[in-house]
Homo-oligomer: A and B are copies of this chain.
């Protein structure tokens, strides 16, 4: 016959396992439970001790019991070991395999970079887009200024204050997504044969752009918590004719870290000393879990050498293809490169976004998703801990919605992906985040979508498939 405390422990375990309490949640206080279940405080404490033994509850001094985020958080990935020289880019075939994939209902796409689009806080944007068409706004059908729609540039300049940037609308170019902002920046700064220094692993879009422009990539060792190695960067700047440094210092993709402010300032000083430009990708910056959001390197920039690139693709909707570039002293070259690439940017989405932001809808939406992504991060790490082989390493993202997984040396995620696709799960293979096909033993998973059993089962399937392949 089960005792009082065992019964209570069972009740709590069920609630936890049903997800009523999720990893990281605070569990009811001892006092609350003793009142709720009409048992003594010591009975509740016994129940909690039993849950502790089961690894389902963890005490925190002066703040009660919590659901642990994974019995034991996995170790961080190793600091990346990179080649010691500039490289030509490869890996286009793997990138194509990823970008060819269209959103599909029958595949859980953990590989793509899409945010959660189902949040009700996004509806005002759809309404704004609808209104512009309904009111037969012919302006929306015509070309607008090559710089971008004035009202949107005003709103973007305002939003960028949160990252410490004081910019005028005239400092901004609206672009076809962050992708064009990055591409324009590289074309404005570099010639074929030039060398660009990168954090590593790094966004495949940038590396494929380097490939397309005949620019060489110098990948630098990067710490999964503090970002690009400054000593390594300094050595590289002394050794190679580096034209620009391209990196994602805030809510990095794929590693999820945010460079400490001190490192951001030190990086800028290095760039000044060696007179090189910095191309700063801030596309995930507004999705940092801590508030206020971290500052950009651009916010410390005084001589206009930082080209800040961003977009609404991760915060709102990638399908709009609306981004922006704050090119500093390189405005004229950037304008030329923007013009010759696509001409003006689509007008309707710019008008709609300006209405959406001016209507006060941006901040609540981002606040909501930030919280959702943080919860999902804990869950995803918990699932990886449960379902992936022991010894799996995982990043500890401080923003965004991407988890980077490092498997033992020699494991091949390209092969893993080929096994997963027929089973209806897609991941991003690690090798596309390197100029030279490193990180074959790594993969990136997207945790933006609302955590469902479908997703948990997909992650479980990835873990089990890894175990199968390891045992072969």
Residues on A lying within 8 angstroms of B by beta carbon are 92, 95-96, 99-100, 102-103, 112-114, 117-118, 122-123, 125-127, 129-130, 132-134, 136, 138-147, 150, 176-177, 179-180, 183, 187, 191-192, 205, 208-209, 211-214, 316-321, 335-337, 339-349
Q: Cα distance A321–B321 when bound, in Å?
A: 11
**Least CB distance, A444 to chain B, in whole angstroms:** 16
Could you pull out 20 A-B pairs where Cβ atoms are within 8 angstroms?
A: A92-B336, A95-B339, A99-B343, A114-B143, A117-B138, A126-B136, A127-B133, A130-B134, A141-B316, A141-B317, A143-B319, A177-B343, A205-B339, A205-B340, A205-B343, A208-B340, A319-B344, A321-B343, A321-B344, A346-B349
* Copies of this chain held together in the complex: 2
Contact A342 B187 (CB under 8 A): no
Prevailing SS type, chain A contact patch: helix
Contact A114 B142 (CB under 8 A): yes
Q: Cα distance A343–B311 when bound, in Å?
A: 13
By beta carbon, the residue of chain B nearest A116 is: B138
Contact A179 B343 (CB under 8 A): yes
By beta carbon, the residue of chain B nearest A351 is: B319
> Given that A96-B335, A129-B348, A319-B346 are known contacts, is A340 also in contact with B183, CB under 8 Å in the complex?
yes
Q: Which residues of B contact A347 (CB under 8 A)?
A: 319
Q: Which residues of B contact A99 (CB under 8 A)?
A: 146, 339, 343-344
Q: Which residues of B contact A346 (CB under 8 A)?
A: 176, 319-321, 346, 349
By beta carbon, the residue of chain B nearest A134 is: B130
Contact B138 A118 (CB under 8 A): yes
Q: Which residues of B contact A213 (CB under 8 A)?
A: 340
Q: Cα distance A92–B339 when bound, in Å?
A: 11
